[in-house]
Chains A and B, each alone.
Chain A
Amino acid sequence: MLNIKNLHAAVEGNAILKGINLNVKAGEVHAIMGPNGSGKSSLASVLAGREAYEVTEGSVDFDGKDLLDMSPEVRAREGLFLAFQYPVEIPGVSNINFLKTAVNEVRAYHGQPPMQAKAFLDMLKSKQKLMEFDANLMNRSLNEGFSGGEKKRNDIFQMAMLEPKLAIMDETDSGLDIDALRIVSAGVNKLRGKDNAFIIITHYQRLLEYIVPDFVHVLYNGRIVKSGTKELALELEEKGYDWLKEDIRLEEPVQ
């Protein structure tokens, strides 16, 4: 589904990603871990198409298409979803109108007619139930005055509505209390299927107790330095990241 080859990216001339290789297949959940500043969120931003990031080398293939060639909205319409580390508050845009616009723009891209009001509301209701999302939040302005947990849950709810092929979750667990974490995780687990895939970016192993990954990768200094299965996450939890840094320093040629 997603094939990242030798991806390099920079912000304002500073290299942030320095050769990422990653292959994600349908039905898989990949966790990307790593210390602060290692490039985890940058990877999410580059994949979603944030303008500040300049890709300097490499390629990303998304279901046979060149992802890097697409605008952020086309990436979304092709089925890529970014759950934000910090979902944005947009006063004056109602949650429900926003969702309706988004759903219909995605449909239009695929040559489908806009959803009828009734069908849209039915879908809204069933997804609200599935995601345990508070219906009262629907009529409010997008994320305005939402708590940190409500914002994250709103993002996951949007994911349920848009049914993406690939969801990238950028530190979705940051700022969540244990209850919110459980609800968000349960939501993600309900959306898991053989046709979609997840990239879970997280600093802590905690989230991975709820969303069990198929693969765990460690990102350090703009590169994936170690890959493994879910046991790797436990090892990281136990030992921290320092031992990896040591290993890498030993492996790298003396300059």
Chain B
Amino acid sequence: MTTTTSNTNISFAETLPALFTAQFGNSGWPGRKTALERFQALGGIPTVKTEDWKYTNVVPFFKNGLSIALPETPAITAQQLEATGLLLPDTYRLVLVNGVLQSALSILPPATQVTVARLSEAASQPAYAQYFNKSKKLEEHHFAQLNTALFNDGLFIEVKAKAQVEQPIHIIHLYHNNGNLLVNPRHLWVAQEGSEAKLIESAAAVGTTGTVLVNSVAEAVVTERAQLSHYQLQTGGAGLRFINQTLVEQMGKSLYNNYTFTLSESDLVRNNLNISLDAERTETHLYGFYIAAGSQLVDNHSSVDHRMPHCESNELYRGVMMDKATGVFNGKIFVHEDAQKTNAFQQNNNLVISPSASIYTKPQLEIYADDVKCSHGTTIGQVSEDALFYLKARGIGDAEARNMLVKAFAFDVTAQVKIPAVRKQVEQIASRYLSVATNN
């Protein structure tokens, strides 16, 4: 199938209907067609005139003849997998190539605890029928709609009721292409009642030419009393661009922790993280750390909807901007009318260590209930002169002192990581980036 647009002046949006018909025809699941129409009704690829995309211009990334037809899945060897440097010890491992689960490279968790399947083969699962494509905010997202229209495959994970999955489940997304590709992985993860699990996501390109634009959607449902920790390690990324939608729905007394670390080579990383607290007494922790260098654009948009009473959410995002990079943070907290006794906290701190770097940060708090505790704050600055002088007064040189302070700023967030191997990997990668930055 050759569905690549060859004329680079024609925008992706214009060619999309033809691409869609060529790929999916007019039969199949009607949800695709509905999503395509919704995507177009939202205005197609958002421009900077769309409020949520004001500082993140994605239009150029859709100009160079993107294909949506996936190439043949190459045989990835264990050596190639090892060479990504992403592997973590003592984990289950689910390896995906362009969104398709590769059983041969994977180490599955026990079937008594966790059901793992290709999303394309999960339709018969009750949890699929119950939760797939049901997340409340899907409708609002241009790219979630685009994903729903175009997704090829992804990962269905169901942690069974009361299962305590000790080892983390490491999901390694590998991407491969010949030429410029738009890939739309689609995932559904359900943590059933009283279960406990940890998911770690990593990504890398293997054997690619051109770039891969990854437009992923993950719907996660954390049901009653379930605990799910979710790590998004955006650490590889040369040749990859990401637009991620993570939509989480939490039920009563559940706990969801998200750790999003963007320490990558990607030109573009846009994370949309939406949490919907749909029942009482939930707990949510969102931790983010991002470094943007070169001319990278790293954008974190998050929303937390407190819909019911007695829920607690806590968000801490920190970023370091260097070179000519741009960072964007937008955090929305909505406390709906019924959500009395809400505790909601949000903090975003940024270090801008190059005069040409930019950060746009906007914490937003909308409260419609009257008995709540909420706070939000944002800071933009350089390393503290007082702290710098204190270190220098003990003989530590300027570059080393700055390095220590920037790392300290970062490690305040990475210290929240509960899996030692993940913390080590993230801190090593962060150190490497930050040492380069402060020694320039």
Chain B positions within 8 Å of A141 at CB level: 408
Q: Which of A50, A51, A105 has the most CB of B within 10 A?
A: A105
B390 touches A91 (CB 8 A): no
Contact with A along B382-426 (1 / 0, CB 8 A): 001111011111111110110011011111100100000000000
Chain B positions within 8 Å of A109 at CB level: 395
A93 to B400, CA, bound (A): 12
Segment of A3-11, A35-43, A68-76 in the binding face: A68-76
B398 touches A71 (CB 8 A): yes
A25 to B415, CA, bound (A): 47
Chain B positions within 8 Å of A77 at CB level: 395
Chain A positions within 8 Å of B404 at CB level: 93, 97-98, 101
Chain B positions within 8 Å of A50 at CB level: 389
B408 touches A93 (CB 8 A): yes
Would you list the 8 A-B pairs with minimal beta carbon distance, nearest first? A92-B408, A76-B395, A102-B394, A72-B392, A88-B390, A106-B395, A73-B392, A93-B408
Given known pairs A50-B389, A71-B392, A98-B404, the reply for A92 and B409 (CB within 8 Å) is yes
B389 touches A162 (CB 8 A): no
Chain A positions within 8 Å of B395 at CB level: 73, 76-77, 102, 105-106, 109, 162
Contact with B along A42-85 (1 / 0, CB 8 A): 00000011110000000000000000000111011100011010
Q: Is A87's beta carbon under 8 Å from chain B?
A: yes
Pick the residue among A51, A93, A102, A162 that contacts B405 (CB under 8 A): A93
- Provide 24 A-B residue pairs closer than 8 Å at the C-beta atoms, listed in order of the A residue: A51-B389, A71-B392, A71-B398, A72-B393, A73-B393, A73-B395, A73-B396, A76-B394, A87-B390, A90-B405, A90-B408, A92-B409, A93-B391, A93-B404, A93-B408, A98-B394, A98-B404, A101-B400, A102-B391, A102-B394, A105-B395, A109-B395, A141-B408, A158-B394
B392 touches A76 (CB 8 A): yes
* Residues of A that sit less than 8 Å from B by CB: 48-51, 71-73, 75-77, 81-82, 84, 87-88, 90-93, 97-98, 101-102, 105-106, 109, 141, 158, 162
A23 to B98, CA, bound (A): 74
Chain A positions within 8 Å of B397 at CB level: 73, 105
B407 touches A102 (CB 8 A): no
Chain A positions within 8 Å of B410 at CB level: 92
A55 CB, min distance to chain B CBs, angstroms? 16
B408 touches A91 (CB 8 A): yes
B58 CB, min distance to chain A CBs, angstroms? 34
- Looking across the interface, which residue of chain A has its beta carbon closest to that of B412? A92
A71 to B388, CA, bound (A): 13
Chain A positions within 8 Å of B387 at CB level: 88, 90
A153 to B394, CA, bound (A): 15
B390 touches A162 (CB 8 A): no
- Looking across the interface, which residue of chain A has its beta carbon closest to that of B395? A76
Pick the residue among B386, B396, B412 that contacts A105 (CB under 8 A): B396
Given known pairs A50-B389, A72-B392, the reply for A91 and B398 (CB within 8 Å) is no
A92 touches B393 (CB 8 A): no
B412 touches A72 (CB 8 A): no
A133 CB, min distance to chain B CBs, angstroms? 16
B207 CB, min distance to chain A CBs, angstroms? 39
Q: Which of B386, B395, B404 has the most CB of A within 10 A?
A: B395
Chain B positions within 8 Å of A81 at CB level: 393
A115 to B238, CA, bound (A): 39
A48 touches B407 (CB 8 A): no
Given known pairs A71-B392, A72-B393, A98-B404, the reply for A88 and B398 (CB within 8 Å) is no
Chain B positions within 8 Å of A76 at CB level: 392-395
16 more CB-based (< 8 A) A-B contacts, given A97-B404, A98-B391: A50-B389, A51-B385, A72-B389, A72-B393, A73-B392, A73-B398, A75-B393, A90-B387, A90-B390, A91-B408, A93-B405, A98-B394, A98-B396, A102-B391, A102-B395, A102-B396
A52 CB, min distance to chain B CBs, angstroms? 9
A225 to B391, CA, bound (A): 33
Given known pairs A93-B405, A93-B408, A101-B404, the reply for A88 and B394 (CB within 8 Å) is no
Pick the residue among B390, B396, B401, B412 that contacts A84 (CB under 8 A): B390
A106 to B389, CA, bound (A): 16
A73 to B397, CA, bound (A): 6
A53 CB, min distance to chain B CBs, angstroms? 11
- Looking across the interface, which residue of chain B has its beta carbon closest to that of A87? B390
B402 CB, min distance to chain A CBs, angstroms? 12
Pick the residue among B385, B396, B409 that contacts A101 (CB under 8 A): B396
Chain B positions within 8 Å of A93 at CB level: 391, 404-405, 408
Interface of chain B residues 304 through 331 with chain A (CB within 8 A): none
Chain A positions within 8 Å of B386 at CB level: 88
Chain B positions within 8 Å of A88 at CB level: 384, 386-387, 389-390
Chain A positions within 8 Å of B390 at CB level: 84, 87-88, 90
B394 CB, min distance to chain A CBs, angstroms? 4
Chain B positions within 8 Å of A49 at CB level: 392-393
Contact with A along B231-272 (1 / 0, CB 8 A): 000000000000000000000000000000000000000000
A150 CB, min distance to chain B CBs, angstroms? 15
B324 CB, min distance to chain A CBs, angstroms? 27
A184 CB, min distance to chain B CBs, angstroms? 18
A40 CB, min distance to chain B CBs, angstroms? 17
- Looking across the interface, which residue of chain A has its beta carbon closest to that of B401? A73
A91 touches B405 (CB 8 A): no
Chain B positions within 8 Å of A48 at CB level: 393
A246 to B404, CA, bound (A): 50
B127 CB, min distance to chain A CBs, angstroms? 41
- Looking across the interface, which residue of chain A has its beta carbon closest to that of B386? A88
